[in-house]
Chain A
């Protein structure tokens, strides 16, 4: 165990040194570098950075386990979290890039020409990103705590200090290149164990092709045991809950401020389009592998662990039983562990796989480093989103428009430090399970930003009164449904709190459209700016006509 600790520690320290080195090398000197990395990030690398930003501790540690426990119903996460990139890349990313601002609240404030909408959007950004970051910090606390065999709370604090340091120091420019490195480390760490497991179980090094057979075989095993088949649909909730959760995760993806701002870091609409495609390819590598992890782990547990004598369980089960994440109670006292006597927490599937498959301590350390990369990179992106909403949208655009660049940068850095430490404090006693907290953040993004941005980009008639009504109604309905479903037992068609976004979005769209139509149309200038988003940079919409900017001159 001591050698294992040293190996894991050195791998994690080596990767940290790499991230910090990159952050120092790319230290942001100007405001535009701090927020949008000077807008010069090439699409492939931006795709990797989006991938690292996107794949959080919940994706890396929790998703495979969720699918293992929920079976088919867990696949709503796979389709929801990837399908969102269609909405984002088709409906929002290139258009928002052409509009050319720093942040999402800035787009909403300028597009609707309203400081009220700007502040409301900044507050929504802070609420959503802050909720999400609590989940990340408690995730990193679990990894650090388990690794160093210290209390998860101390682990959380170490994580918070680390994130505060490099996000505040490097800004977006540092973070983007750090995230490229983090993507590479986390994807290698995720793929190596699943490839080896596939080799051991099926003799085929391609887990994506080989695990289909096992899924079928497990269905037979389940039938023999008399439990519902692994792949049987809707065993853990209604079909409507599946569809609502999938929609919430998709629309939430398209409305998360820290993901949208990634598309501001590229040079053009074309680059935004390609960034979206590359990002989903890189994200897909992990998301296509998660169900394979789930199937392999479940198969090993069913065939090699269940059915063996309690006294003769493999050595790795002992360590995990000690953490409380695995329970092997011999309920009927026959000395043999039955499948239904095995209780597994969904957090341990990925973390325990290297031990289950006996892959050696280097791989165990690598997986821990990958999980840390996933938690840190997402938290870093979230912190930039929070700091820009406060320092840029509230402080600079509303409170102190005359402040110097130096003041603004230092307000941005300090707001990162304060937000991280505050999130770290709350993460010491998180208000819910990690996946639950993350699902709430998505529901809130679906109920607020998704309708506001889609209508803002595609409907020129949407005005400031409409967007303010939409944001307030969407936020209110989403929060009300989450609380009513979670604590009051109120559900519609069996849709529980994680699917709340569907109602928030519907109400927000309706409120935005109704109020916009009842009040005066936006100014001619704003309507033309919205029409302009239909065309590439070189085409300009002006005075009801489209003009071609042939020589590429900057001012039009």
Chain B
């Protein structure tokens, strides 16, 4: 066990939280934002769809899927940056679980 500099630990948490807030903001705009402005946005047409319908039926879902994969990938990158080893995570995790 080695103590981690308080700054490094804080910045790990800050980076992850900052990314999460960005992802939430994008997801929120793609769903709630478009619904809220559905009427004015309906004049724009995408691939035959009125824009608000396209976002509800496809755009928002695709945005969510992309955000989740970006989150998974970026999460791995941040872990690597702070020297986290997934194999050791697995070892620790299988032992830390409360087994009863």
Could you tell me how many residues of chain B have their Cβ less than 8 Å away from some Cβ of chain A?
64
Determine the distance from Cα of A539 to Cα of B57 in the docked complex, in whole angstroms.
41
Please tell me if the beta carbons of A548 and B96 are within 8 angstroms of each other in the complex. no
For B93, what are the chain A residues with a Cβ–Cβ distance below 8 Å?
A: 97-98, 100, 267-269, 537
Q: How far is the CB of A150 from chain B (nearest CB, A)?
A: 37
Determine the distance from Cα of A175 to Cα of B96 in the docked complex, in whole angstroms.
25
Determine the distance from Cα of A235 to Cα of B48 in the docked complex, in whole angstroms.
21
Please tell me if the beta carbons of A212 and B47 are within 8 angstroms of each other in the complex. yes
Determine the distance from Cα of A183 to Cα of B60 in the docked complex, in whole angstroms.
23
For A86, what are the chain B residues with a Cβ–Cβ distance below 8 Å?
A: 23-24, 27, 64, 67-68
- Return the CB mask of B69-87 against A: 1 if under 8 Å, else 0: 1011001100100111111
Q: How far is the CB of A343 from chain B (nearest CB, A)?
A: 24
Q: How many A-B residue pairs have CB under 8 A?
A: 205
For B12, what are the chain A residues with a Cβ–Cβ distance below 8 Å?
A: 535, 539
In the complex formed, the residue of B with least CB distance to A71 is B53
Please tell me if the beta carbons of A72 and B53 are within 8 angstroms of each other in the complex. yes
Could you tell me how many residues of chain A have their Cβ less than 8 Å away from some Cβ of chain B?
71
Q: Which has the most chain B C-beta neighbours within 10 Å: A110, A287, A546, A551?
A: A546
In the complex formed, the residue of B with least CB distance to A74 is B56
Determine the distance from Cα of A246 to Cα of B24 in the docked complex, in whole angstroms.
15
B44 lies within 8 A of chain A by Cβ: no
User: Which listed segment binds B: A116-124, A272-280, A349-357?
Assistant: A272-280
Q: How far is the CB of B53 from chain A (nearest CB, A)?
A: 4
Given known contacts A83-B31, A281-B65, is B53 in contact with A75 (CB within 8 Å)? yes
Q: How far is the CB of B77 from chain A (nearest CB, A)?
A: 11
Please tell me if the beta carbons of B4 and A548 are within 8 angstroms of each other in the complex. yes
Please tell me if the beta carbons of A215 and B49 are within 8 angstroms of each other in the complex. yes
Cβ contact of B32, chosen from A233, A243, A284, cutoff 8 A:
A243
In the complex formed, the residue of A with least CB distance to B56 is A75
A: residues with CB less than 8 A from B are: 31-32, 39, 72, 75-76, 78-79, 82-83, 85-86, 89-91, 97-98, 100-101, 110, 208-209, 212-216, 219, 231-234, 239, 242-243, 246-247, 267-270, 273-274, 276-277, 280-281, 284, 287-288, 291, 396, 534-540, 545-556
